């Protein structure tokens, strides 16, 4: 880790397409054969690192790194099923869902001289989600935690204060279940972790990071679990998927995610093509605090003006189905119909009632080429009912910063917005971003209902699957009734990998499980 030199509070931005030249320049002259002979894996990461803190991580670009350099009690297994398997734990007894006993694998060493992982590190890692100084973005993952009782050097009990259905679906096996070093965080003098992980506990360690160029991982000698195949993994932050495909075709990457429209081009080749249904959700959001969209009749008119089937067909050519809500199938709570579908005559009538004929609106979105197609089709559909739509495409980090700019008023520039989210295999992870306290954070629609929030909180505690499913259906109904949401698609995730490599991904293929890649 001696090469890793940054200021922990250094402001980071996601990589734009302009960073590709820097990334590819570092690959020049090093072909795939060289990479394989030296057991080096070169893979695209769809963004640069931002925050490697389990409580406040930035996104899957961070989690891809985190799942390699940190260990949790359990982890998702690679494959098609959302099963969990032991990781840092040798025992996890969930026979009492309110009191989960665990025992750690002895001998796991944190890097940078911070010693062996103990039950005290588990206690610290999970209880800190409630620490106001941490300001955990993912605090809801551990909202039901009472305490972690340490019963021995390697043993303890996770005690809950109330039932929590997502514990084994989206908390413990996911990034919120990763274990960090108590000593390392305390020695840093900060409550949180930025892009410097401070101490690694997984199969790999962060050896080098050149922002916007490369993230280099090497084996962690202190890891006592299953040994990973690759000696080194090089992640190249390339935000633009088209640029990543170009780098793969040139032999500069061993593995990359590809656009859905590129799937057909790789079928029948020697490469390994991986395509899995995504646990994602894309929708058109409307800013209800924007004066042009304050009238629900206007928002309802826009809902009726949009032909989602036409948008999805034009964008993905039949490879993706329309969405009927935010919760993706096969998760509990996935809907099978919408409340306000395509009806252009109704749309025109509502606009007339609202006195909003000839309305001028803008659609803001990031650099995803698929969404550009969505935008163009949407623009034509809204024109048919008399709405003039202008397109605002920008770097995703810039867009999010504007939508979250509450003090400066940047959020007022948002009319319509598309920013796809991904989720974990529990519906609570889908709905939690649309509460009142998420307004101006991730709730870009700025819808707020205390009653909705109360029902959302109750759904997390409900252990009856049938009742819980109905609660999530009703929560989505209420969101649609606000007029601020038009559900688009859940999509698929597609990757291509060079011959000779056996890739490994989360069951939805959103994240590459780097520690599980090996020779085929």
pLDDT digits (tens, 9 = 90+) for 470-499: 999 999 999 999 999 999 999 999 999 999
Judgement on whether residues 82 and 210 belong to the same structural domain of the protein: yes
> 263: which 2 tokens?
């799937």
> 211: which 2 tokens?
């922002």
Whichever domain contains 471, its CATH number is 3.10.105.10
Is residue 368 very low, low, confident or very high in pLDDT (cuts 50, 70, 90)? Answer: confident
241 membership: H or E segment, kind and range = helix 241-249
- Answer whether residue 16 is part of any domain: no
Separation CA 375–CA 378 (nearest Å): 5
Is residue 37 very low, low, confident or very high in pLDDT (cuts 50, 70, 90)? Answer: low
* String of DSSP letters for 437-458: GGBTTTBTT----HHHHHHHHH
List pLDDT tens digits, range 271-317.
999 999 999 999 999 999 999 999 999 999 999 999 999 999 999 98
Whichever domain contains 67, its CATH number is 3.40.190.10
- Answer whether residue 5 is part of any domain: no
- Answer whether residue 442 is part of any domain: yes
State the pTM of this model. 0.80
Judgement on whether residues 201 and 338 belong to the same structural domain of the protein: no
pLDDT for 18 beyond 50: no
Find tokens 């935010």 and name the residue.
Answer: 326
477 membership: H or E segment, kind and range = helix 465-481
pLDDT for 6 beyond 50: no
Q: Hey, CA dihedral for 19, 21, 26, 30, is it positive or negative?
A: positive
Of 385, 408, 434, 414, whose CA–CA distance to 291 is shortest?
414
Domain count, the chain: 2
List pLDDT tens digits, range 450-462.
999 999 999 999 9
- Answer whether residue 25 is part of any domain: no
Q: What is the pLDDT of residue 5?
A: 28
Q: Confirm if 241 and 283 have CB atoms less than 8 A apart.
A: no
- Answer whether residue 28 is part of any domain: no
Judgement on whether residues 437 and 503 belong to the same structural domain of the protein: no
Q: What is the pLDDT of residue 1?
A: 32
Q: Hey, CA dihedral for 20, 319, 512, 279, is it positive or negative?
A: positive
Reduce the DSSP state of residue 186 to 3 states and report it: helix
Judgement on whether residues 306 and 216 belong to the same structural domain of the protein: no
List pLDDT tens digits, range 101-144.
999 999 999 999 999 999 999 999 999 999 999 999 999 999 99
Judgement on whether residues 148 and 292 belong to the same structural domain of the protein: no
- Answer whether residue 68 is part of any domain: yes
- Answer whether residue 10 is part of any domain: no
Mean pLDDT of all residues in 324-350: 97
Mean pLDDT of all residues in 412-425: 94
Q: What is the pLDDT of residue 13?
A: 27
- Answer whether residue 2 is part of any domain: no
List pLDDT tens digits, range 182-236.
999 999 999 999 999 999 999 999 999 999 999 999 999 999 999 999 999 999 9
List pLDDT tens digits, range 158-168.
999 999 999 99
Residues 6+ apart with CB under 8 A from 313: none
Judgement on whether residues 82 and 200 belong to the same structural domain of the protein: yes
Judgement on whether residues 283 and 400 belong to the same structural domain of the protein: yes
If you ran DSSP here, which 8-state letter would residue 355 be given? T
Judgement on whether residues 441 and 328 belong to the same structural domain of the protein: yes
Judgement on whether residues 70 and 157 belong to the same structural domain of the protein: yes
Separation CA 166–CA 101 (nearest Å): 17
Judgement on whether residues 166 and 285 belong to the same structural domain of the protein: no
Residues 6+ apart with CB under 8 A from 354: 295, 297, 298, 301
What does pLDDT average to over the chain? 92
Judgement on whether residues 107 and 197 belong to the same structural domain of the protein: yes
Is residue 330 very low, low, confident or very high in pLDDT (cuts 50, 70, 90)? Answer: confident
Judgement on whether residues 89 and 195 belong to the same structural domain of the protein: yes
Residue 100 is part of which domain span? 40-254+498-519
User: Pick the residue with more confidence: 9 or 400?
Assistant: 400
Separation CA 75–CA 83 (nearest Å): 8
Q: What is the pLDDT of residue 369?
A: 84
């Amino acid at each position: 880790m001696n090469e890793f030199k940054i200021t922990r509070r250094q402001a980071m931005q996601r990589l734009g397409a302009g960073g590709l030249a820097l990334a590819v320049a570092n690959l020049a002259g090093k072909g795939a054969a060289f990479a394989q002979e030296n057991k080096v894996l070169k893979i695209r990461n769809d963004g640069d690192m931002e925050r490697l803190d389990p409580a406040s991580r930035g996104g899957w670009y961070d989690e891809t790194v985190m799942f390699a350099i940190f260990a949790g009690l359990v982890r998702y297994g690679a494959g098609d099923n959302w099963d969990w398997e032991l990781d840092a734990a040798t025992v996890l007894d969930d026979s009492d869902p309110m009191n989960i006993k665990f025992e750690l694998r002895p001998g796991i060493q944190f890097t940078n001289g911070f010693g062996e992982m103990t039950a005290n590190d588990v206690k610290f890692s999970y209880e800190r989600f409630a620490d106001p100084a941490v300001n955990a973005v993912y605090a809801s993952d551990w909202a039901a935690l009472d305490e972690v009782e340490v019963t021995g050097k390697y043993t303890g009990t996770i005690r809950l204060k109330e039932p929590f259905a997502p514990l084994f679906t989206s908390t413990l096996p996911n990034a919120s279940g990763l274990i960090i070093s108590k000593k390392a965080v305390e020695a840093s003098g900060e409550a949180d972790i930025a892009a410097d992980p401070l101490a690694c506990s997984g199969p790999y360690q962060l050896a080098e990071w050149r922002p916007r160029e490369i993230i280099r991982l090497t084996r962690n000698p202190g890891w006592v679990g299953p040994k990973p195949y690759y000696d080194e993994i090089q992640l190249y932050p390339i935000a633009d998927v088209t640029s990543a495909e170009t780098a793969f075709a040139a032999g500069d990457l061993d593995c990359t995610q590809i656009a859905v429209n590129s799937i057909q081009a790789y079928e029948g080749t020697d490469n390994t093509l991986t395509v899995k249904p995504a646990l994602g959700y894309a929708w058109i959001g409307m800013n209800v605090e924007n004066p042009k969209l304050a009238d629900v009749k206007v928002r309802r008119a826009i809902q009726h003006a949009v032909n989602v089937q036409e948008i999805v067909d034009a964008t993905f050519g039949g490879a993706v189905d329309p969405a009927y809500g935010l919760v993706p199938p096969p998760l509990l709570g996935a809907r099978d119909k919408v409340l306000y579908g395509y009806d252009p005559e109704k749309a025109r009538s509502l606009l007339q009632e609202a006195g909003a004929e000839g309305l001028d609106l803008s659609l803001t979105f990031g650099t995803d080429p698929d969404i550009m197609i969505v935008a163009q089709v949407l623009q034509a559909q809204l024109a048919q009912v008399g709405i003039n739509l202008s397109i605002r495409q920008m770097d995703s980090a810039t867009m999010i910063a504007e939508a979250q700019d509450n003090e400066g008023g940047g959020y007022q520039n948002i009319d319509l917005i598309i920013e796809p989210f991904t989720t974990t295999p529990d519906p609570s992870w889908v709905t939690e971003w649309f509460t009142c306290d998420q307004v101006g954070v991730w709730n870009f629609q700025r819808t707020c209902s205390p009653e909705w929030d109360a029902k959302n909180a109750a759904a997390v505690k409900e252990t009856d699957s049938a009742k819980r499913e109905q609660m999530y259906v009703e929560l989505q109904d209420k969101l649609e009734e606000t007029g601020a949401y038009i559900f688009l698609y859940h999509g698929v995730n597609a990757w291509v990998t060079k011959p000779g490599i056996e890739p490994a991904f989360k069951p939805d293929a959103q994240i590459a499980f780097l520690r599980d890649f090996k020779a085929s």
